Structure 1
Amino acid sequence: MRALLIILVCSGLLSCGSRSIVSEQELKDYIINPDHGLCRREAKNGIDMEVVYRPSELVAAQQVAGVTDQKEREKIIRNFDSLAYFVIKLSRNGQEIENAYASDNDKFLQATSYLSSGIAQDLYLVNKGDTIRALDAVYTRMFGAATATTVMAIFDTNVKDLDGSLTFCFGDTGLGLGLNEFEFYTNDINKAPTLNLN
């Protein structure tokens, strides 16, 4: 009886530390499900904001597609795994945020310039009093074809090594939104399933 109890406890402990492996689409669906704590939404000044934690595996998957050399694949995966990614989506009336300025050429250019080069300075993470500034932010102009403006923020940290709460801060200086904070929990991040990229 005691041996059975030890086996059950050991197998339970082993299963607690392992993350399930899912398909790319299943992982995308998982992170946008509000029940999993990896997607936060807020509305302010008529603008809808959504911040989503993006697992490094999803970013690396795009880069390793078609790479057949195993060592090269592993190198790419390691490079992406050392960084943290969050996607922020901004929309007004179901459209990309910069479309609100389309009738004023100067304001439109200011908005697109801010999104493409200035916004990275306004994005940072806070964990236990430590501030982690964004290394970069990637904005892709969709020319009205999307329902929201999307910017991916890149941070020089592996959030899986952190613990407790993790606050994504958007201290906007270009769109009139001011400071916006979105709280995530590293426990939720660490529970997310993973992809098999090998």
Structure 2
Amino acid sequence: MKQLGAFLMLLVVLVGCTSKSFDTKEAMLEYLRDPENHYLQQKKVNGYEFSLLYKPTDLLVNQELSASATEDEIRQLRSKYGAFLYFALSISKNDQELLSTTPKNRQEFGAMVNRLAFGMGSKVHLLTSKKDTIPLLDYVYPRMYGMSRSTSMLFVYPRDKKIKDSESLTITIGDLGTYTGEVKFKIATKTIKNEPTITFQ
């Protein structure tokens, strides 16, 4: 009985560690956007909606993949994008961008534009459970000029060795002039290690 119990426990662990695979990007996104799967986290602070989505490697691969891609090309793209972690952060108030709701005058507007375009590296930090800081490698802020329902940004970090030894990762977002204080999101490292894939062929 003890051996059977141990086998069942091992089976549960193995099944729990198996990453999911989807036939299309849309199917993967539907899975990722379900908060119960822990890839999307949302918070509301002082009237502002914060949303953090971890983007698996294959979402980035899919953007660059041609319809006639070979297995070797898919493997190369997975190697290229798999070296990094991608986090999409969205912030909104009343279903509008920060620049449409937060600045009270032209001076504040200019300061926020500068902060969003060039200063997010000092505002957003990725930390391991041992409090090691993972350096920001790249940051994308597409200016939408009031045409979007939220301010969206993409943060890119190296898949650092320190992450493998960390039980979780924490992303901290400093106050952006929103009087929300520091906002934190925590994601288990195993969630990233078992990230879903797309079946391209």
Question: How does the TM-score come out when normalised to structure 1?
Answer: 0.81
8 Å CA contact 1:120, 1:153 repeated in 2: no
More displaced stretch, 49-58 vs 14-23: 14-23
CA distance in 1, matches of 2:28, 2:165: 21
8 Å CA contact 1:83, 1:155 repeated in 2: yes
Q: Partner letter of residue 132 of structure 2? A: D
2:126 counterpart of 1:119 = no
Partner of 2:3: none
CA distance in 1, matches of 2:173, 2:27: 28
Partner of 2:140: 138
Cα deviation, residue 172, structure 1? 3.6
Which runs of structure 2 are paired with 1:33-182 in the superposition (5 Å)? 33-66=34-67, 68=69, 70-101=71-102, 104-127=105-128, 128-157=130-159, 161=164, 163-172=166-175, 175-182=178-185
Partner of 1:4: none
Question: How does the TM-score come out when normalised to structure 2?
Answer: 0.80
Judged with a 3 Å threshold, the aligned counterparts in structure 2 of structure 1 residues 10 and 38 are, in CA distance, closer, same or farther, namely: closer
What are the Cα deviations for residues 129-151 of structure 1, in whole angstroms up to 9, with x where unaligned?
Answer: 22112212111122222211100
RMSD, aligned α-carbons: 3.1
Judged with a 3 Å threshold, the aligned counterparts in structure 2 of structure 1 residues 165 and 191 are, in CA distance, closer, same or farther, namely: same
Judged with a 3 Å threshold, the aligned counterparts in structure 2 of structure 1 residues 65 and 142 are, in CA distance, closer, same or farther, namely: farther
8 Å CA contact 2:56, 2:86 repeated in 1: yes
Partner of 1:185: 188
Aligned length: 195
8 Å CA contact 1:94, 1:147 repeated in 2: yes
8 Å CA contact 2:61, 2:74 repeated in 1: no
Cα deviation, residue 178, structure 1? 3.5
What are the Cα deviations for residues 28-78 of structure 1, in whole angstroms up to 9, with x where unaligned?
Answer: 111111111122112223211111111121112102235736544432221
CA distance in 2, matches of 1:182, 1:133: 17
Q: Percent identity?
A: 23
CA distance in 1, matches of 2:11, 2:176: 51
Higher helix share: 1
